[in-house]
Structure 1
Amino acid sequence: MPILVCDTRVEQQLLAERAASGADRYDEVWEGIYMMAPMPNDEHQQIVSRLDAILQLTLDWSGLAHVRPGVNVSDRKEDWTSNYRVPDIAVFLRDGSAQNCDSFWYGGPDFAVEILSPGEVIENKIEFYAKVGVRELLIINRQPWVIELRRLESGMITAVSHSKIDGEVSHCQTIPFRFSLRTGSHRPAIRVEHESGQSWDV
């Protein structure tokens, strides 16, 4: 349920409480509107942690890219806090155009991952991601389980593949990986395959 807070005192108190508790980690600002997101559930965090570990090992540690498990991404250098988003995982290639400004990145990652939480509408972020130049976006939907790969083409981020359980494989162009869904024991497993032949089930 959306809540509009017009009392400055209440606003500052709420923001201070969230900052003190760490609950603001996934908050975003959309053109001056503060968006408060709840902490993701355990499954969400486990997927982020494991995907990040794979990408850190293969891309970051090898010097091919900067991999971040959640980072501020803005479309402006000045007053960046008035408009930014926080993808679950961001991969900035070494020769990419985005700039590391310490507290945030100016410009989008070459590859980003968004894991949808209940009620989250990814379309609300797509226009921003296209604007900042995200080249590929992997969307993991868990209700129902579907992996969607989108790609920046002619200034728009468009879908290039949908992977249902034991179905199509999503082939990335920006990073040397393929993603798909496989039948798992407790939930579908996200199959991550590196071009070297190494693979992991997340």
Structure 2
Amino acid sequence: MTTIINDQMLEERLIAQRQEAGVDKYDEVWGGVYVMARMANNEHQRLVTDLTTVLNIAVGWVGLGQVFPGANVSDREDDWTKNYRCPDVAVYLKDTQAEDRGAYWYGGPDFAIEVVSPQDRAMEKLPFYAKVGTRELLVIDRDPWALTLFRLDADTLELVAKSLTDDDATIGSEVLPLNFNLVLHETRPALEVIHHDGQRWLIDPTGG
């Protein structure tokens, strides 16, 4: 459901209340339109937390780049709050073309992850991510479960690989030294991350 508020005072009060309550973490601004997102459920947050940890082990802690569990990404050098998106996980490598502006990044991540939740608009962000130069985007769907990798080609993020629970497909990143695939695991599928050096991590969304 989409709600449009044309009362500026009400809008400012509502945004202030969300900020005070700490539930604005996933809010974004799309071309001047404030987009409010519900707080992610526990499974979503476990995936983000565990993926951030694995990426820190593989990338951040070995000096290849920086890993963030969410980041403000804008296409504007000034007044970035008028247009920005917040991927669930963002990786900026040492040689990234993006600029760290402190409160936000001017330019897209080298690798980003979006975990899809009911009624969210993750797929609608692809043109923006392509515009800011995001090199790869991994989308994690959970109903039904699927991993989809998009890779930047000219000015478009193109679908290059997909992994489902009923196949043996492995998704290989060209940006990170990692492969990803879905595996059947107890009550819910799990996400397996495989480093090129042989290290493996199993991310269980149930927290088990």
Per the alignment, in what secondary structure is the counterpart of residue 46 of structure 1?
helix
The whole-number CA distance in structure 2 between the counterparts of 1:121 and 1:17 is 23
**1:183 aligned residue:** 184
Q: Normalising to structure 2: TM-score of the pair? A: 0.95
**1:118 aligned residue:** 118
**2:206 aligned residue:** none
Summarize the alignment of residues 38-187 of structure 1 with structure 2, pairs less than 5 Å apart: 38-165=38-165, 166-187=167-188
**1:201 aligned residue:** 202
Amino acid at match of 2:136: E
**2:16 aligned residue:** 16
**2:3 aligned residue:** 3
The whole-number CA distance in structure 2 between the counterparts of 1:137 and 1:58 is 17
CA RMSD across the alignment: 0.8
Q: CA deviation at 1:123?
A: 2.8
Moved over 2 A (4+): 120-123
Say which is worse superposed, 54-63 or 98-107, in terms of deviation.
54-63
Say which is worse superposed, 175-184 or 2-11, in terms of deviation.
2-11
Q: CA deviation at 1:62?
A: 1.2
Amino acid at match of 2:181: S
Q: CA deviation at 1:154?
A: 1.8
Q: Normalising to structure 1: TM-score of the pair? A: 0.98
1:34 paired with 2:43, answer: no
Q: How many residues align?
A: 202
Larger RCO: 1 or 2 (CA < 8 Å, sep 6+): 2
Amino acid at match of 2:176: I
The whole-number CA distance in structure 2 between the counterparts of 1:69 and 1:35 is 19
- In structure 2, list runs of 5 or more residues that go unmatched: 204-208
Q: CA deviation at 1:11?
A: 0.7
- In structure 1, list runs of 5 or more residues that go unmatched: none
Amino acid at match of 1:167: D
The whole-number CA distance in structure 2 between the counterparts of 1:64 and 1:92 is 9
